[in-house]
Structure 1
């Protein structure tokens, strides 16, 4: 059991022994919600066993928001904050934003826009019902939450109305498991991580299918690895889009911006 005289030090020591790099920081997060001693012990044991911290505590900090997450769902990455901020900027420029986040998981992008541009009409879509339960908690009442494989399950009423698509489709090549941290491989769904040999299976499908959903002056923002930009841009041009790259500060990811020619 935990040493009650200095719980952060006691938890940090256990986490460090199990391989956690930021043990003191994680110990503070585990203690943050003021849970009972028994629940705290359960949480520490789950983290020692390798379960992602965010799934253990049930939330993730994403910018200024605290988003609901849970066991077995994809945890939003901090690098995606750049895409969220770009989406907010685009939505603020639109008169009546109709925002769609496909492959949404727990809907970090839609939640960011909804919080910053309150007049937005918000829709999200994902194939994972468990992730969508958390998305509902992260979004305002009235947001459209749709069970959908890509864009296939969206309501036809959205055809030609969406002014902003912001998405992080799965984009890790299925041959590159070595790039993924062990805890993600063990505790997040493979369908939220991997996307075929080149990692472009879902990105390519999204590019192909966007045309019927975006309004004439609509904008799409898609996160991917920087090495995937050129083939994705080729696909975009073939589908009638004018692609543009927004480089990330870490040099690893890129935002593909699409507008109609």
Structure 2
């Protein structure tokens, strides 16, 4: 199969799965194996298309990110998402990622770990759907600092390949008292700084593997991931309160089975 077609397919996969609670890592490994696209070039390509997904969130929420620079309401009894919410939601996973980066890449980044994480994440999502009670935050502007921190702590689970950053943060949000939409939107907002740090570090380490001959392929994957991720993020926010997490949890279990049969066995 021509590399540009592979880039288009994987760009779609990345865009579809980065912000859904289904694990983009698991999907990229599975589809990459089916397409015979593996190795260092594939790893570098994954970094590039993740940048495309990140750009989608920046475009969708650039006004919200700019509003975070207004510190006048911090500490005042005004319900409004501010920079402290984002910091509390980002720091736990950022610290975990920095401390465990080499361990994650060298030890945890294995096919068996991905399968276990897919199932573990599914169990967490089913638990969150069953146990969540009355919501105290129906929008991101109603989130408390404590809820932001709880979501940030749950985001630490996402450093494990296959667990899903979106799945862990939305589950944490539900358990902390945020409704589905508020938890999902906050998950999107804290995604950008986390992904910039993680993907930026990987990009620096992968830069020597970039070649000018790969530019067309990488550009196709980047643009495709950007467009698809933007569409998925908008649609997901409109549907999440109606469909909940259970359907994604069951899908993850099926994916874990397929992953085992196709990739591991």
* Structures share fold, TM-score greater than 0.5: no
Higher strand share: 1
TM-score scaled by length of structure 2: 0.23
Higher relative contact order (CA 8 A, sep 6+): 2
Q: Provide the TM-score with structure 1 as the length reference.
A: 0.24
Which one has a larger percent helix, Structure 1 or Structure 2? 2
